[in-house]
Structure 1
Amino acid sequence: MTLYIDADACPVKAEAETVATRHKVPMILVANGGLRPPRNPLVTLQIVADGPDVADMWIADRAGKGDVVITADIPLAAKCVAAGALVLRHDGSALTEANIGQQLAMRDLMTDLRAADPFRQGSGKGFTKADRSRFLDALERTLRQAGKTV
């Protein structure tokens, strides 16, 4: 079991490290750069080349059954779910076989709406303490669940 973090814009890296360390699960931060090398022996920093979706492809090529992936990227989540990995967003919500199709469709719809109206502003709500708390609880449960599948 490995915990993969799509780390470039992940607001819960420290929280994920705390939970992974408690469970003694190896964690890999995948990024294009700009992160300090971790001091924790369970945490590895994987720097990938610059370019669109390079970090996502690196994770998708490796994540599988028994692994956990933290990402907000819906296409990456879909690939990981298809490979048997458990996937969480930063707010703790799970992306599963039951909801990934709907999430992909919603992503495509929003992309089309933004393309049709360039003045349309995103509704990006801030990341709250409640989101962080939900993430911690969800990761705790998900790592226990993943541990039972390996």
Structure 2
Amino acid sequence: MKIWVDADACPVVIKDILFRAAERTKTKLTLVANQAISHPESEYINSIQVGRGFDLADNEIVRLMNQGDLIITSDIPLAAEALEKGGDALTPRGERFSLNSIQAKLTMRDFMDTLRGSGEHSGGPAPLNSTDRRTFANELDRWLAKNRKIN
């Protein structure tokens, strides 16, 4: 089991939680981004830099991941691909994507994209807060505990 991070937009505080968890549980963690990403020196943590381009990091994560791996992303299409490939997906706010909910999320994403394309300003997501960080850490711990029992 490995953890893959869509690292271009992942908040630093979430990466820090992931780094500590990878070390504590001896779980392989890979950051994938189109720029160099700094991370602690560790046998469990590495990074992959892809070229600049639309969805190159997402495509690399899907190409390299295996069934049962965890993907950290806010990107709904990436989460959908990870789920289709048998992986798990978690947002940096601690929301788990599931096969039951992903289609509704894709539909809403497309709807919001259409609104933005018509000039409607919907604003961005709220800043990450302490509740989000705690929710993320708790969901990550649940996933790690569940997968340690399986493996």
TM-score category, normalised to shorter length: over 0.9
In structure 2, distance between residues paired with 1:37 and 1:94: 25
Helix, strand or coil at the partner of 2:108: helix
1:144 and 2:145 correspond: yes
State how many pairs are aligned: 149
In structure 1, distance between residues paired with 2:56 and 2:47: 15
In structure 1, distance between residues paired with 2:149 and 2:43: 24
Unmatched 5+ residue regions in structure 1? none
When normalised by structure 2's length, the TM-score is 0.93
Helix, strand or coil at the partner of 2:35: coil
In structure 1, distance between residues paired with 2:145 and 2:104: 26
> In the alignment, which residue of structure 2 is the partner of 1:51?
53
Instruction: Note the alpha carbon deviations across 1:88-143, whole angstroms, 9 max, x for none.
Output: 00011100111111110110010011111x25141421100110010000001012
When normalised by structure 1's length, the TM-score is 0.93
Task: Give matches, 1:105-116, under 5 Å.
Answer: 105-116=107-118
Q: CA deviation at 1:52?
A: 0.7
In structure 2, distance between residues paired with 1:122 and 1:99: 23
Instruction: Note the alpha carbon deviations across 1:33-52, whole angstroms, 9 max, x for none.
Output: 14225312210111111101
Q: Structure 1: which amino acid aligns with 2:134?
A: S
Highest relative contact order (Cα 8 Å, sep 6+), 1 or 2? 1
Evaluate the alpha carbon distance shift between residue 121 and residue 97 of structure 1 in structure 2; reply closer, same or farther with a 3 A threshold.
closer
Unmatched 5+ residue regions in structure 2? none
Q: Structure 2: which amino acid aligns with 1:124?
A: P
